[in-house]
Amino acid sequence: MALEKTLYIGPFIHCQDLTTLDICQNGMIGVDEDGKIAFISRSEEAQEVSKQDGWGDAKVVKIDGTGFFFPGFIDTHIHASQYPNAGIFGKSTLLDWLNTYTFPLESSFTDLDKAARIYNRIISRTLSNGTTTACYYATIHVPATNLLADLCLSKGQRAFVGRVCMDSALSPDYYRDESPLTSYHDALACIEHVKTIDPTFSLVSPIITPRFAPSCSKESLNLLGKLHAESHVPVQTHLCENEAEIQLVKDLFPDSKHYTDVYDSAGLLTSKTILAHCCHLSADERSLIKSKNAKISHCPASNAALTSGFAPIRKLLNEGLTVGLGTDVSGGYTPSILAECREALFTSRQLCISSGAGAVKREDDVKLSVEEALFLATRGGAKVVGLEDKIGGFEVGMDWDAQMVRLNLADDELSEDVGLVDIFGHESWDDRVNKWVYGGDDRNTVAVWVKGRLVHRRRGWRG
Amino acid sequence: MALEKTLYIGPFIHCQDLTTLDICQNGMIGVDEDGKIAFISRSEEAQEVSKQDGWGDAKVVKIDGTGFFFPGFIDTHIHASQYPNAGIFGKSTLLDWLNTYTFPLESSFTDLDKAARIYNRIISRTLSNGTTTACYYATIHVPATNLLADLCLSKGQRAFVGRVCMDSALSPDYYRDESPLTSYHDALACIEHVKTIDPTFSLVSPIITPRFAPSCSKESLNLLGKLHAESHVPVQTHLCENEAEIQLVKDLFPDSKHYTDVYDSAGLLTSKTILAHCCHLSADERSLIKSKNAKISHCPASNAALTSGFAPIRKLLNEGLTVGLGTDVSGGYTPSILAECREALFTSRQLCISSGAGAVKREDDVKLSVEEALFLATRGGAKVVGLEDKIGGFEVGMDWDAQMVRLNLADDELSEDVGLVDIFGHESWDDRVNKWVYGGDDRNTVAVWVKGRLVHRRRGWRG
């Protein structure tokens, strides 16, 4: 589908590096018919030159009022099938939560009408919250998983879609793969399906998804490792989420050096592997993950909700590990990566308090900054999914995966429809970004594009 | 202003006690011309009888679709003047945060136009988030503080309005009371003003507000204690927020047994005292607070943001202390008590993790439940402000301080205007409440009443 050449005019903001926002107040970004960034102008003068250079008749999308363009968010860990349970977890922790809330819901995805309703909804919700790329866990069902891939493609969301593999006796009778070979063949069937709808995985990619070590037999892990080696399709799974789970893995895999080694021994730990949670990695595990260049998805809302633990993000970053953010719906209550940024910021502060250094400055570097949270949500996530050359920032040659953010000027009449952020006029650009991160929601994301295609717009917004 | 007798028909939910929600699916609550609850029917049959009993021609307000009536929220600690800084705090902690962000903003409230803009906005924002009662800190300025009281009265929000007292040399030159007598007289002037606009403090009450011990001389604390004894006007202040502050108080008041004793010695610790934060109380201080029946405002968002500490809420509750919730804008980023419930729930879980018991069950009772968070937000807050006989629940004789909550059925067309909560139809009433608490925002609060008066409604809602 050919797109119109488009000029996006107005302030734009993206992450230059982990700690620095690049804020351009007079920006113009030219996006070509393939949805790629053709040029970037950073001043009004440069805009005039650019317009003369073959872009005079391009479509124009302009920021009205107080707002900016920002890269689309990347959700590196979300269970699409669990969305109806978002916010429902009581006082459970991981292992009882799975049995009480999660497996009963996931097992119902034999019903394709139900699957369609839920998958349509979660894709719309994540898009409307600015998520342009999502790494989805589906269920064990091939038809419903394929449906999720179809829906992502038709709604235009960049996605990794994983058929969940779980064959171990620890999985419930009513919801598990019959055998290791079932895990392998059904995973393969979903890969083959995506090849038929998006042969080059240009928008939607399959992803090999062993649920987590306790759900999988050694044999099935080995088969999935073989599939990974044969197909070059990426892998996603869970690692070191909570302490009871880690003990369980020790008991189930007595010959493995540690939890990370379970995946490594099966050939599942590579540069194309996304490991969710990683709250309790040993130094040896961190070093192994780094040597394999595997990636980490930080899911702070879920880790707090299920009291799984504090992932030591500062330490992981300092050691050179690659980290992105994941909402982990429905361990996490929110499908919004912006909300997840808040959770990451607060979790880093709670970890700082818990280390006994809250009131003094000496552990200030445990705290994440707003800039760092936004980096994890964009550039960091892009690295986690292996697309750092295509998405996560605004650079010439990258795809236009972006959102238009609008902030509201505080005036006399309150209208809830424009969101909770109030700009009084004294705020610097940094302040505005802070207000957006702490107070913003989907109402501030008025339009969303993936590969140059408009995939969401708020009612009343005209592109 | 006389009101119409009104029947509120539909499900209603309120807190029966700390751990139990009372959920009535076929409710009808009759509210008389004074805004008081005259009767409560809990079944359709009872409704028929009630209607025949002199309420046949009453106005009817009905829940349409999925929703319920819920008591209005009580914010027991919020700095109205700091609202423009909500979300702006960087990596600061309490004492540097005050000097960097807070004092410069507060000192500008000599400008009454600015004060009017900000106070109008925060009252509208809190009302639209379901806050029917707020304990406000204003600034040191008498005219602006009186304006805040006027605006609360005209907008119909129940409020405690405090002129901030701060005369110590630690306060900046550009923003402090000239002398202890200034603190006393200006506090008195604000009390006198409220007497002229609401003589019985039926909606708006003054509140004596020594900022916190480090901001006040011993002499001014004594004078404010005297004012409290003479006027019977309640008191609000801060206590044991972070460790550097506690050390500072030790240095400043070497003769005091501890921080709490500083207030007690000045006659400021009584059953009408609201103490914000209380993250680091000693056993002796907790016991003193209990013996005086003073009240605690828990502000988890602020405590996380400024890495102040974990207030041990379970311990405080177990020891019989009275606790409510406070947003503490702008130490806290949000003016929403619903969001503060989430922060309280997550903070209790982070404290659970930090105590090393995340993965196991043995410290499960550290975790707050959704029911408990809602109790703190309503009945608990009512006790904190001394109005437990009037507000915080639905009981005959209480005032109708309430909100109508609407939850959205997930269907094919996404409309952001109805909020983020998606109801799929399988949810129990408990599940719905959980979804509201974790996923809800001001869009779910479609109408708000104080003393029977409609003080907020969402665009499009017809009462």
Helix (H/G/I), strand (E/B), else coil: A65:
coil
Predicted local confidence at residue B359, as pLDDT? 47
Q: Return the residue matching tokens 């937000």.
A: B377
Q: Average pLDDT in the B400-410 region?
A: 95
Chain B residues lying within 8 Å of A360, measured CB to CB = 93, 243-244
- Give me the pLDDT at residue A52, please: 76
Binary contact (A359, B124; C-beta < 8 A) = no
* pLDDT score for B64: 87
For B176-205, give one letter per residue: b (16+ CB within 10 A) or e: bbeebebbbebbbebbebbeeebeebebbb
Contact between chains at A358 and B121 (C-beta distance less than 8 A)? no
State if pTM tops 0.95: yes
Verify whether the Cβ–Cβ distance B118 to A443 is below 8 Å: no
Residue A12 pLDDT more than 90?
A: yes
Predicted local confidence at residue A359, as pLDDT: 47
A83 touches B: beta carbon within 8 Å: yes
- pLDDT greater than 60 at residue A75: yes
Q: Which residues in chain A have their CB less than 8 angstroms from residue B116's CB?
A: none
B429–chain A Cβ distance below 8 A for any pair? no
- pLDDT tens-digit map of B439-451: 999 999 999 999 9
Bridge partners, A14 (sequence order): A22
Mean pLDDT of chain A: 95
Lowest mean pLDDT among A43-47, A349-353, B74-78: A43-47
Under an 8 A CB cutoff, do A84 and B242 touch? no
Q: Are A204 and A178 in contact (CB under 8 A)?
A: no
CB-closest option in B242, B343, B410 to A121: B410
Contacts of A83 in chain B (CB under 8 A): 422
Query: Looking at the predicted structure, is the pLDDT value of residue B432 above 90?
Result: yes
Q: Tell which of B123, B131, B307, B435 to mutate to test the A interface (max A CBs under 10 Å).
A: B307
- Is the pLDDT at A358 greater than 80? The verdict is no
Q: In Å, how far from its chain's centre is CA B261?
A: 25
Torsion angle, CA of B390/B395/B397/B400, rounded to 10 degrees?
Answer: 60
Once rounded to an integer, what is the mean pLDDT over residues B100-119? Answer: 97
Residues present in chain B in total: 463
Instruction: Please report residues of B whose CB lies closer than 8 A to that of A354.
Output: 310, 350, 353-354
Residues 6 or more apart in contact with residue A103 via CB below 8 angstroms:
A171, A172, A174, A175
Are B194 and B203 contacting, i.e. CB atoms less than 8 angstroms apart?
no
Share of chain A above pLDDT 90, in %: 90
Task: Find residues 310-349 of chain A whose CB sits inside 8 Å of chain B.
Answer: 310, 333-334, 336, 342-343, 346-347, 349
pLDDT of residue B462: 76
What integer pLDDT is reported at residue B429 of this predicted model? 97
Question: CA B52: distance to chain centroid?
Answer: 38
Shortest alpha-carbon distance between residue A396 and chain B (Å): 31
pLDDT of residue A1: 59
Q: Is B160 on the interface with A (CB under 8 A)?
A: no
Per CB-CB distance under 8 Å, the chain A contacts of B346 are: 301, 304-305, 343, 346
For residue A249, what pLDDT is reported? 98
- Report the length, in residues, of chain A: 463
What is the structure's pLDDT at B54?
Answer: 86
Question: How far apart are the C-alpha atoms of A62 and A463, rounded to whole Å?
Answer: 8
Confidence (pLDDT) at A53? 82
Tens digit of pLDDT for each residue in B240-265?
999 999 999 999 999 999 999 999 99
| Chain B contact set for A333 (CB, 8 A) | 342, 438-439
pLDDT tens per residue across span A88-130: 999 999 999 999 999 999 999 999 999 999 999 999 999 999 9
Q: Is A3 in contact with A452 (CB distance < 8 Å)?
A: yes
For B359-381, write each residue's pLDDT tens digit: 455 456 899 999 999 999 999 99
* Residue A460 in contact with partner chain B when CB distance is under 8 A: no
Which residue carries 């996931």 as its tokens? A106
Q: In Å, how far are A218, A241, A276, A376, B379 from A249, measured between CA atoms?
A: 11, 11, 16, 29, 45
- Least Cα separation, residue A462 to chain B (angstroms): 16
A416 with B333: Cβ contact below 8 A: no
- How far does B361 lie from chain A, in Å, by closest CA? 8
Task: Please provide the DSSP assignment of B260-326 as one string.
Answer: HHHHHHTT--STTEEEEE-SS--HHHHHHHHHHT-EEEE-HHHHHHTT-----HHHHHHTT-EEEE-
| pLDDT greater than 50 at residue B307 | yes
| Bridge partner list, B236 | B274
Q: Which residues on A lie below 8 Å from B372 (Cβ)?
A: none
* Continuous segment of H or E residues that includes residue B143: helix B142-155
Count Cβ atoms below 10 Å from residue B237 Cβ, excluding itself: 29
For residue B1, name the pLDDT band (cuts at 50, 70, 90). Answer: low
d(CA A263, CA A273): 10
**Which chain A residues have a beta carbon less than 8 Å from that of B350?**
304, 310, 347, 350, 354
pLDDT digits (tens, 9 = 90+) for B10-30: 999 999 999 999 999 999 999
Lowest-confidence region among A269-273, A442-446, B208-212, B417-421: B417-421
The 10 Å Cβ neighbour count of residue B362 is 9
Whether B93 and chain A come into contact, CB under 8 Å, resolves to yes
A112-121, A289-298, B255-264, B347-356: range with lowest mean pLDDT: B347-356
Treating both helix axes as pointing N-terminal to C-terminal, what angle do A180-197 and A218-231 enclose, rounded to 10 degrees? 30
Provide the Cα torsion B252, B254, B255, B257; round to 10°.
100
- B409 close to A (CB below 8 A): no
| Distance, CA of A310 to CA of A290 (rounded, Å) | 20
Q: Would you state the pLDDT for residue B416?
A: 66
Q: Does B356 touch chain A (CB under 8 A)?
A: no
Mean pLDDT within A427-448: 97
Average pLDDT (B29-33) is 97
Q: A58: distance to nearest CA of chain B, Å?
A: 30
In the prediction, which pLDDT does A418 show? Answer: 86
pLDDT for B463 equals 65
E strand residue ranges, A172-234: 204-206, 209-210
Q: Is A409 helix (H, G, I), strand (E, B) or coil?
A: strand
For residue A248, what is the nearest residue in chain B, using CA coordinates?
A: B359
Asked if the model's pLDDT at residue A179 lies above 60, the reply is yes
- Neighbour tally for B135: CB within 10 Å: 28
pLDDT of residue A51: 77
Inter-chain touch A434–B88, beta carbons under 8 Å: yes
Give the mean pLDDT of A292-301: 98
Stretch 193-222 of chain A: residues touching chain B, C-beta under 8 Å: none
Query: Is the Cβ pair A245, B309 closer than 8 Å?
Result: no
Q: Does the distance separating the beta carbons of A308 and B359 come in below 8 Å? A: yes
- Average pLDDT in the B297-313 region? 97
Strand, helix or coil for residue A5: coil
Contact A439 B412 (CB under 8 A): no
**Which uninterrupted H or E stretch holds A285?**
helix A283-292
Report the alpha-carbon distance of residue A83 to residue A332 in Å, rounded.
10
Give me the DSSP letters along B18-68: TTEEEEESS-EEEE-TTSBEEEEE-SHHHHHHHHHTT-TTSEEEE--SEEE
Q: Searching chain A, which residue's CA lies closest to the CA of residue B435? A: A87
CB atoms within 10 A of CB A284: 12
Question: Which residue is listed with tokens 């505005």?
Answer: A432
| A–B CB contacts, 8 A cutoff, strictly below | 198
> What pLDDT, on a 0 to 100 scale, did the predictor assign at position B51?
77
Q: Is B97 on the interface with A (CB under 8 A)?
A: no
The answer on pLDDT for B413 being more than 80 is no
* Mean pLDDT on B73-94: 97
Residue pair A73/A381 in contact (Cβ under 8 Å)? The answer is: yes
Asked whether residue A288 carries a pLDDT value surpassing 60, the answer given is yes
Whether A243 and chain B come into contact, CB under 8 Å, resolves to yes
